[in-house]
A and B are shown apart, each in its own frame.
Chain A
Amino acid sequence: GAVVSQHPSWVICKSGTSVKIECRSLDFQATTMFWYRQFPKQSLMLMATSNEGSKATYEQGVEKDKFLINHASLTLSTLTVTSAHPEDSSFYICSAGPLSGRSTDTQYFGPGTRLTVL
């Protein structure tokens, strides 16, 4: 149980185009999903918290107009990188959870999407 998928697993795009990444919880309903970015040799950086049916909460320094997040259902959240530039090239990972709100619940990660902007 607690499987999270992401699509696509990798994408290459030209500078200035927009890219949409999907995150799906396959066997549970996720009221909360999280979007992370990870550059090579660096730790995970939380970009935003996505709540079903409401606006996402962005971390300090993350441009909400550039990284559009939509969480329209309990099983799907999308991240759109608008007008992508080479510096946006990174590994984007989503996670979902906690499942019950208990402190012992954790987040379950998707496999990640590697974005390369040429």
Chain B
Amino acid sequence: QKEVEQNSGPLSVPEGAIASLNCTYSDRGSQSFFWYRQYSGKSPELIMFIYSNGDKEDGRFTAQLNKASQYVSLLIRDSQPSDSATYLCAGPSYNQGGKLIFGQGTELSVKP
């Protein structure tokens, strides 16, 4: 079983809709998770991190973490065409010097 898994998509939503991106993880000891956005041909950029159960909101983005279910998600409200990118979920691999374990990424396409 992969340590961090994402639905590779592609996920297509109309402009203005809510995009929901999901991630599951296998290490119950994982304490924090990070969402990165990667535009085609560019390197990943950090959008949000979350380390407490529940929701964390930042503008149009909401990260949700459920440690009991080992599930983390990212909601994008009022999706815009500029949100079209690949979204990567990552969790730390403990005792490995800060190494992050990345999911395979979900490609999001927001249609005008």
Contacts and interface: CB of A to CB of B under 8 A. Distances in A.
Contacts, number: 53
A67 B86 CA distance: 27
A46 B99 CA distance: 9
Most buried by B among A57, A93, A103: A103
A104 interface: yes
A43 B45 contact: no
Nearest to A109: B43
Main secondary structure on B side of the interface with A: loop
Contact of A106 (B96, B100, B103, B104): B100
Interface in B1-18: none
A106 B62 CA distance: 18
Contacts of A8: none
Given A44-B88, A104-B32, A98 B98 contact: yes
A112 B43 contact: yes
Given A43-B104, A106-B34, A106-B49, A111 B43 contact: yes
Interface in A34-77: 34, 42-44, 46, 49, 51, 57
Contacts of B46: 106, 108
B88 A105 contact: no
Main secondary structure on A side of the interface with B: loop
Nearest to A50: B97
Interface of A: 32, 34, 42-44, 46, 49, 51, 57, 91, 93, 97-98, 101, 103-112, 114
A110 B43 contact: yes
B8 to A, nearest CB: 9
Interface string B79-99: 000000000101010001111
Given A34-B99, A44-B102, A46-B99, A103 B31 contact: yes
A12 to B, nearest CB: 16
B44 to A, nearest CB: 5
A94 to B, nearest CB: 9
Contact of A51 (B34, B49, B51, B97): B97
